[in-house]
Structure 1
């Protein structure tokens, strides 16, 4: 009986820890194209982090798809967004919150270059 109670207690503790972790930070692609690269930098620094599309199974983020963002603390960031046609755009001053979804849309894209 003690083993059963100990097992139940351990299971409940593990379940609670997983629930507390939440879903993490996620990007919601509301642009009209598939994103092939996505990097973040603290606002105004141009210190681009790793390509977050590597977190996706097909390494791209389709329209209306969400992408899990890793290794990033909540705060304000600029984003470099790359597309299949070699176009790169910047999204400035994104607010990223813990365990929340942030989105980008075509209207957010600036400084697009091929």
Structure 2
């Protein structure tokens, strides 16, 4: 086998291992009874809201019992602003986001809701 082909074969055979090593990432699981139209994070207590993560979903919303991979989010403690159709917004305080974990939000977690 030629050296270039050997190197290529080694690289291609290691791709599944590298993908596995990266893990599944941080995921949001919508356990609320409504479809989320917005999900923004802020470092806990700072009210410095980041981008709307639901825009990364194929239909730009997160249905009940749907999961979404959160990109660009580092592990830590966050507050979340959750938005719904009709301008309703709620806050979820002090979410503990961990590496490769699923972060779930249920109706009981929603606080400070506006209509």
Are residues 1:85 and 2:86 paired? yes
Q: Counterparts of 2:56 and 2:23 in 1: how far apart (Å)?
A: 17
Matched, 1:73 2:96: no
Structure 1: gaps of 5 or more residues? none
The corresponding residue for 2:100 is 99
Counterpart Cα distance in 2 of 1:113 and 1:63: 20
Query: Mind listing any 5+ residue stretches in structure 2 that lack a counterpart?
Result: none
**Rounded Cα–Cα distance in structure 2 between residues aligned with 1:95 and 1:2:** 51
Residue 87 of structure 2 aligns to a residue whose secondary structure is coil
> 1:8 is matched with which residue?
9
- Post-superposition offset of 1:58: 0.5
Equivalent residue of 1:27, what SS?
Answer: strand
Q: How far apart, in 1, do the equivalents of 2:2 and 2:22 lie?
A: 29
Query: Alignment partner of 1:85: what SS?
Result: helix
2-structure distance, mates of 1:7, 1:71: 30
Structure 2 match to 1:55: 56
* TM-score normalised by the chain length of structure 1: 0.93
Q: Distance in 2 between matches of 1:45 and 1:110?
A: 16
Asked if 1:33 corresponds to 2:27, the answer is no
What TM-score do you get using the length of structure 2 for normalisation? 0.93
Which range moves more in the overlay, 14-23 or 60-69?
14-23
Calculate the aligned-residue CA RMSD, in Å. 1.2
Structure 1 residue 14 displacement after superposition: 2.1
